[in-house]
Amino acid sequence: MKSLQRRFDNITTKNPYWSSYVCFAEAVKGQNFNKQTICRWFQKLVDKDDYARNEKKEALAHLQNLSTPTEDNQN
């Protein structure tokens, strides 16, 4: 099982009332996943009813931004 999917599954289990999009955002947060990985797993894991299709590009850009660790958190 891939690391992103494992993180997503753990978050989903611990937070059963969160939407799949919120769980996915939490899974990528600060993990430095590349754009291709985020896009591929977004397609597989996030329920299509959890986001507006016309806003998918913006949602993926936001997730990529969340994935990139901030300079304050880097050692």
User: What's the structural domain count of the chain?
Assistant: 1
16 part of a folded domain? yes
* Per-residue pLDDT reduced to its tens digit, 21-68: 999 999 999 999 999 999 999 999 999 999 999 999 999 999 999 999
Q: Rounded to an integer, what distance in angstroms lies between the CA atom of residue 66 and that of residue 39?
A: 13
* Structure token digits, residue 17: 């009332």
Q: Rounded to an integer, what distance in angstroms lies between the CA atom of residue 43 and that of residue 25?
A: 13
Task: Provide the residue range defining the domain that includes 39.
Answer: 3-67
74 part of a folded domain? no
pLDDT value at position 69? Answer: 81
Kindly report the pTM of this predicted structure.
0.88
50 part of a folded domain? yes
Is the confidence at residue 18, as pLDDT, over 60? yes
pLDDT value at position 1? Answer: 47
Largest Cα–Cα distance of the chain, in whole Å?
Answer: 38
